[in-house]
C-alpha cells in the first residue's frame, strides 16, 4: 500500500507537467504578493514603510519552521517504517528550509535596525531561530560527511533532536521577555492583523510555499536519478 503510493508519487513528481504547474502558480502568487505588499498594503502608523519587510520575513520564518517540522516527522517515520522514500523526501526538503531560515534571519536583522535600532539582539526568538539554522546546517552536513544508511540515521537523529527547538521558537515570545510581539496571526483564535495586511502576508506565504515545493520536486528528482543511475550500473 505504502510502496504503491510512493510509486505513484514518484511518477507525478518526475513529470515535467507537475513542475510547470507549480512554477506557474509560484510566479502568479509571487507577482500578486509583491504587488500587494509593496504597492497596495498600507504603511504602519508606528513603523511606517519598514513594516513591509514583514511580508518576506514572516512567511520565510513560517516556511522554514514548517519544513523542519516535516523533516523531523519524516525522520521519525524512517526509524518506525524503515522506508527509504521517507529518507529521500526529507533530504530533498532540507535545502529550501535552510534558505528560508537564512532569509528569515537576514531580513529580521534588516528589519531590526530601523525598528529596534540594532542589527542583532540575543532575543529568545532570534536566538532560537539561529539554533534552528545550525540544526539545518548539521542536517545537511551529515549527508555530506557520511554514506547512505549511516547518513540517513545521523541526519534523522539531528532532525528529531532539533525538533525540540520548534515549540521553543513558537512560544519564546510568551515564555520570556522578547523584542518580538506575540503572534498576530492565529489558527485557533481570532487573528488581530487587519485584512489589508493579512492579504499580502498570505499571498507571500503561498508563493514561498510553492517555491519550496518547486525546489523539493527538483531536488527529489536529482536524488531519484542518482538512485536510478546506480541501478543501471547493477544491471
Partner 1 sequence: MINLLLMNGYGLFVWSAFAFTLINFFGLYVIINRQLIKENKKFKLKFNNLEKIKYIQAYKQSTNQVLVSSNAAQKI
Instruction: Compute the distance between CA of residue 136 and CA of residue 79 in angstroms, rounded to an integer.
Output: 19
79-to-65, 82, 106 alpha-carbon distances in Å = 22, 6, 34
Query: Contact between 165 and partner 1 (CB under 8 A)?
Result: no
194 binds partner 1 (CB under 8 A): no
Side-chain half-sphere of 53: how many Cα atoms within 13 Å?
18
Max distance between CA atoms of the chain, in angstroms, equals: 67
Q: Which is nearer to partner 1, 55 or 163 (CB)?
A: 55
**Which range binds partner 1 by CB under 8 A, 91-99, 144-152, 177-185, 189-197?**
91-99
CA 167 to chain centre: 15
Name which of 43 and 174 has its Cβ closer to partner 1: 43
Q: Is there binding between residue 95 and partner 1 (CB under 8 A)?
A: yes
How far is it, in rounded angstroms, from Cα 202 to Cα 212?
Answer: 15
Is residue 50 involved in binding partner 1 (CB under 8 A)? yes
Question: Taking contact as CB under 8 A, which single stretch among the options 61-69, 73-81, 100-108, 127-135 is the one that binds partner 1?
Answer: 100-108
Identified binder of partner 1 from the candidate list 114, 182, 191, 192, rule CB under 8 A: 114
* Joined grid coordinates for residue 77: 517515520
For Cα atoms 37, 49, 109, give the angle at the middle one, nearest 5 degrees.
90
Nearer to partner 1, 11 or 134 (CB): 11
Q: Is 190 exposed, middle or buried (0-12, 13-18, 19+ CB in 10 A)?
A: exposed
Q: In terms of CB distance, is 39 or 188 closer to partner 1?
A: 39
DSSP class per residue in 103-166: HHHHHHHHHHHHHHS-S----HHHHHHHHHHHHHHHHHHHHHHS-HHHHHHHHHHHHHHHTTHH
Q: Which of 36, 57, 156, 201 binds partner 1 (CB under 8 A)?
A: 57
Q: How far apart are CA 166 and CA 131, in angstroms?
A: 10
Selected from 150, 186, 194, 226, the binder of partner 1 by CB under 8 A is 226
52 binds partner 1 (CB under 8 A): yes
Using CB under 8 A, pick the residue from 2, 43, 81, 148 that binds partner 1: 43
Binding interface with partner 1 (CB under 8 A):
7, 10-11, 14-16, 19-20, 23, 34, 38-39, 43, 48-50, 52-53, 56-57, 60, 95-96, 99, 102-103, 106-107, 110-111, 113-114, 211, 214-215, 218-219, 221-222, 224-226, 228-229, 231-233, 235
Amino acid at each position: 500500500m505504502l510502496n504503491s503510493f510512493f510509486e505513484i508519487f514518484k511518477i507525478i513528481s518526475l513529470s515535467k507537467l507537475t513542475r510547470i504547474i507549480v512554477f506557474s502558480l509560484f510566479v502568479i502568487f509571487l507577482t500578486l504578493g509583491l504587488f500587494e505588499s509593496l504597492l497596495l498594503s498600507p504603511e504602519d502608523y508606528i513603523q511606517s514603510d519598514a513594516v513591509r519587510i514583514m511580508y518576506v520575513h514572516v512567511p520565510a520564518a513560517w516556511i522554514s519552521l514548517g519544513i523542519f517540522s516535516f523533516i523531523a516527522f519524516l525522520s521519525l517515520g524512517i526509524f518506525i517504517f524503515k522506508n527509504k522514500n521517507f529518507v529521500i523526501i526529507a533530504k530533498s526538503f532540507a535545502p529550501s528550509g535552510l534558505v528560508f531560515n537564512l532569509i528569515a534571519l537576514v531580513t529580521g536583522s534588516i528589519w531590526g535596525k530601523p525598528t529596534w535600532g540594532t542589527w542583532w539582539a540575543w532575543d529568545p526568538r532570534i536566538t532560537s531561530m539561529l539554533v534552528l539554522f545550525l540544526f539545518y546546517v548539521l542536517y545537511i552536513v551529515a549527508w555530506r560527511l557520511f554514506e547512505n544508511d549511516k547518513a540517513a540515521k545521523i541526519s534523522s537523529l539531528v532532525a528529531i533532536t532539533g525538533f525540540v527547538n520548534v515549540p521553543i521558537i513558537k512560544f519564546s515570545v510568551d515564555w520570556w521577555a522578547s523584542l518580538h510581539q506575540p503572534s498576530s496571526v492565529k489558527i485557533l483564535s481570532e487573528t488581530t492583523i487587519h485584512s489589508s495586511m493579512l492579504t499580502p502576508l498570505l499571498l507571500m506565504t503561498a508563493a514561498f510555499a510553492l517555491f519550496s515545493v518547486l525546489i523539493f520536486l527538483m531536488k527529489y528528482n536529482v536524488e531519484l536519478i542518482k538512485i536510478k543511475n546506480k541501478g543501471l550500473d547493477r544491471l
